Amino acid sequence: MTDSNTNSTGTHLAIKTIAIGGAAGDGVREAGINFSELFTELGYKTFSSFDYPSLIRGGHNYARISYSVNTVYADYRELDVLIAVNAESVRVHQHSLRAGARVFVEEAYLPEIADLGIAVIPLPMKKIAEELKAPQVARTSSAFGAYGYTLGIPLNQLKALADKVYANVGSEMNVALVEKGYAHMKKMQYPQDECAIPTEHGIVGEVTDGNKAIAKGFLAAGLEAYVGYPMTPSTSTLQFLAKMSKKTGLKVVHPEDEIAVLNMALGMSYAGKRVAVGTANGGFALMQETFSLAGVSEIPIAILVSMRMGPATGVATHTSQGDLQFILHAGHGEFPRLVIAPGDVEECFECAADALNLAWKYQIPAVVLSDKHLSESYKSVTLDTKSKGPDYGKRAVPVGTHYVRYKITEDGVSPLAFPGKANVVVKVTSYEHNEEGEAVESAEEVQAMQDKRFRKLNGLYQDFAWFPTVKTYGDEWSDVVIVFWGSTKGAVLEAHKQLKTPAKLVQILWMEPFDADRVKAELNGARVIVDVEANHTAQLAALIREKTSIEIHNKVLKYDAQPFTPTDLANEINKFL
């Protein structure tokens, strides 16, 4: 196997990238996930992303998988292998092919691409599926057999791996497809690489995406109910938890719209159930009045908001980081909230668990801010599920005493009780209120309750010491700093390998409350600071300026609804070095 990428010093990075392209309905996404799992079973680390239009049928869809013996943080645009289910896929990706790239093409479409002059490997995927009476959506399994042959993987080993990966979707049929693809290449006497499977092979952990990791994080923190309305790119969280409901006893509800989602969830939380909701930025826009209700009524709630390209419907199935400032200032009026933006699949798990726990500890709304690229990209990971557990917060034990729901306390957190308990009346209201939960309008009482709620931030500031509000990578002593947030993390970590000079990488996870002291400490003294964001207005840079007075002049911004790719990002950052 040849190395597919090199850094500025000429050191091989040993990352290979394969793309599978076709139309909606061709099973491209499922093929990408299956290929990722097969590579992971072989002992490789993988990162996979998916691109698709907002269509049920037609349009160009592709999965892109980068894999290596080392951790892969993002997928590369430059392709070592292309599996084209149709002719359009070859035309779309022809300019991304590396020299010597292997291009497997459904043989029925060869006449349509003859004018391109690209060396291709004909593969009768459709015919193989028909011979085996397999559904056409599964025909890409034969492509894995064909590619596995070129890698020099022994057939018995490839079949055994396929049997494990396809166990839940019909392993016998898919193993037969893999074998047929392998036999086709053998019959063609196509040259094989010297097999270079990692010596310490065997899957460690799992291949999963950000949405499932968020769901698992909620579950680890004691999730009892999930309410969601399907809206790309948050939908798979709802689907995953619905499948898990019988096994876990979780209550999963799909109401009529996003407004009902948050209202229903607050009712569950009021009744004492640890609940989370999921939506996209457009759906969250519809929840604003109820989001404020959560703030004033101090009802704990965890909310997944997965951003897609806006404004309005925008580019509904593509990615963006365009709503950071919207989330930070969501809802009318002022009230404390927690906003955490994970940057990879592992952090999705950790941040979701932290968000649910901290929502209950402080009785506030907590947002896990993701985006399409992070929510739907798959990575081979090991999630430390034992590291997270429920934090139930300050519970009241009213025995023969009068319960006061909004008792003014030094830390701003009132003892929490739920309806149905003996001798307990739990009053909540959207109106400003006194300790009893009764509506008030006097200046003194209004101010006192505002002060009470905002004292919760003091506890969150103290929690900075226990949570990764900011992370750093690279050269800690470099005077060149790259600052970033969210899903740009993967591309930044990969681009770092190709930079002209050593650099310190600073990732900000907690957006509200903001760890200004830590951020200032990491940025002060830098000769060059480069801000990397997937939006037009450099919203993180604006937040840093607001909280620290540090002005960042060098920005790499991407707002075309596509995620950063490592090589392109490295080229842009290098312009400032």
Per-residue pLDDT tens digits for 155-172 = 999 999 899 988 887 789
- Examine domains 208-387 and 470-574 and report if their fold is the same: yes
Mean pLDDT of 392-415: 86
Residue 7 has pLDDT above 70, yes or no: no
One-letter amino acid at 230 equals: P
Q: Examine the pLDDT at 2 and tell me if it is beyond 50.
A: no
Q: pLDDT at position 11, please? A: 35
How many Å separate Cα 191 from the centre of its chain?
38
Position 55 scores a pLDDT of 82
- Name which CATH class applies to 208-387: alpha beta
Average pLDDT over residues 285-307: 98
**How would residue 246 be classed by pLDDT, with cut points 50, 70 and 90?**
confident
At the topology level, CATH places domain 470-574 in Rossmann fold (3.40.50)
pLDDT in the model for residue 10: 36
- Span between the terminal Cα atoms of the chain, in Å: 33
What predicted TM-score, i.e. pTM, was given to this entire model?
0.94
Domain spans in the chain, listed from the N-terminal domain onward: 16-188, 208-387, 394-467, 470-574
Res. 3: pLDDT tops 50: no
Cα–Cα distance, 455 to 413 (Å, whole number): 8
Contact 245, 274 (CB under 8 A): no
pLDDT band at 78 (very low <50, low <70, confident <90, very high): very high
Please give the structure tokens belonging to residue 6: 């090199």
What is the pLDDT confidence band of residue 400, given thresholds at 50, 70 and 90?
low
Q: Does domain 16-188 have CATH number 3.40.920.10?
A: yes
| H or E element at residue 557 | strand 554-557
Degrees, nearest 5: CA angle 557-570-508: 55
Rounded distance between C-alpha atoms, residue 136 and residue 163, angstroms: 19
Average pLDDT of the chain?
Answer: 93
Cα(386)–Cα(388) distance, integer angstroms: 6
Torsion over CA: 21, 22, 24, 29 (sign): negative
365 pLDDT higher than 90: yes
396 confidence band (pLDDT: 50, 70, 90): confident
Size (the chain), residues: 577
